[in-house]
Amino acid sequence: MAVLKLVVISGLSGSGKSHALKCFEDVGYFCIDNLPPAILPTFVDLCHQQGGEIKNVALGIDVRERVFFSDLAGVLERVKALGHTVELIFFEAREEVLVRRFSESRRPHPLLPHLPVLEGVRVERERLADLRCHADRIIDTSDLTVHELRELLNRQFREEGAPRRLTISLVTFGYKFGVPYDIDLLFDVRFLRNPFFIPDLKPLTGEDSRVRTYVLADPDAVAFVGQLEGLFKFLIPLFERERRSYVNVGIGCTGGRHRSVAIAGRLQESFSVLGYQATLTHRDLSRQ
């Protein structure tokens, strides 16, 4: 039977549990938030049925699951008895820090939404006191920035030897249809010569070798791609140093069918040479 490594994340609201769960996802854990503890043994069985593909799991547990919450320690002991590795991490912060965080986010305390935040903090701390006693590790985030918390969890839970590769997504689009909203870096290639005005190339797309050759033979395209390659060689290590897990790159032309598609395809090859696998999506390729 394959051994499962299970990390359970719990603690006070506002202490950074949600951010911690994202950090675990970034280092390769299969993450679930608010899974009722009572069905955890069933979930472990399902992981086995996946043929060992799921080995590391991070599970977020919220005190609002109060119907199941009281027996969490017992459930974890039963999972340990099956031979799996289980670690319970309890996140907390000082009262004044939690109150300030709720104030900055303008959100009520989830446990007592109609009362002052401080009352919710104190009630939740009292209800979680017993669980805190069972914790394998207690992390106080009062004086940690989100970047410092991410670095702490990366150091302690990233699999030794696991690659720290950035996920790169290339998206082509046509400006006439609007700019994608979820883009981190945006490049406009409408300055390149346009195959749209060449009768034999107009009905084709940038995926066709003839269009691709026409676009990439443009001296401006050669210079542009060279500049982008240098830019990404500089940027990617900096993104990884900041523990960014992904970056979305938009390449736009007028219609999203010719120039942007050809340039993005060339960039995908450049990323491959650098050792990164970039996905490529053509948003407007089928539009007329």
Q: Is 84 left (phi over 0), alpha (psi -120 to 50) or beta?
A: beta
pLDDT class for 125, splitting at 50, 70, 90?
very high
pLDDT at 158 > cutoff 70: no
Q: Count other C-beta atoms under 10 Å from residue 20's C-beta.
A: 26
Q: Is the pLDDT of residue 131 over 50?
A: yes
Q: Tell me: pLDDT of 276 over 80.
A: yes
Q: Is the pLDDT of residue 175 over 80?
A: yes
- Does 164 score more than 60 pLDDT? no
State the pLDDT confidence band at 160, using cuts at 50, 70 and 90.
very low
Q: Going by DSSP bridges, is the β-strand pair 137-140/85-92 parallel, antiparallel, or unpaired?
A: parallel
What average pLDDT does this structure show over 91-116? Answer: 89
Rounded to whole angstroms, the Cα distance separating 235 from 224 reads 16
* 169 or 69, higher pLDDT: 169
Q: Region 87-113: what's the mean pLDDT?
A: 90
Average pLDDT over residues 143-163: 72
In percent, the amount of the chain with pLDDT more than 90 equals 43
Query: What would the pLDDT profile of 222-250 be if each residue is shown by its tens digit?
Result: 999 999 999 999 999 888 877 677 788 99
pLDDT of residue 243: 65
The per-residue pLDDT of the chain, averaged, comes to 86
Amino acid, single-letter form, for residue 52: G
| Of 68, 80, 60, the residue nearest 36 (C-alpha) | 68
Window from 29-43, 64-78, 87-101, 200-214 with minimum mean pLDDT: 64-78
pLDDT surpassing 70 at residue 85: yes
Distance of CA 270 to the CA centre of its chain: 23
Confidence at residue 220, expressed as pLDDT on a 0 to 100 scale = 97
Q: Over the stretch 179-204, which tens digit does the pLDDT of each residue have?
A: 987 788 999 999 999 999 999 999 99
pLDDT band at 267 (very low <50, low <70, confident <90, very high): very high
Domains and CATH numbers, the chain: 5-157 (3.40.50.300), 167-282 (no CATH)
In this prediction, residue 161 carries a pLDDT of 45
| pLDDT winner (highest mean) among 50-59, 124-133, 187-196 | 187-196
Closest CA to 234 of 274, 195, 266: 274
Q: What is the spatial distance between Cα 228 and Cα 269, in angstroms, rounded to a whole number?
A: 12
Tell me which range, 3-12, 141-150, 165-174, 194-203, is most confidently predicted by mean pLDDT: 194-203
Q: How far apart are CA 19 and CA 91, in angstroms?
A: 11
Taking alpha carbons only, the member of 104, 70, 91, 110 closest to residue 21 is: 91
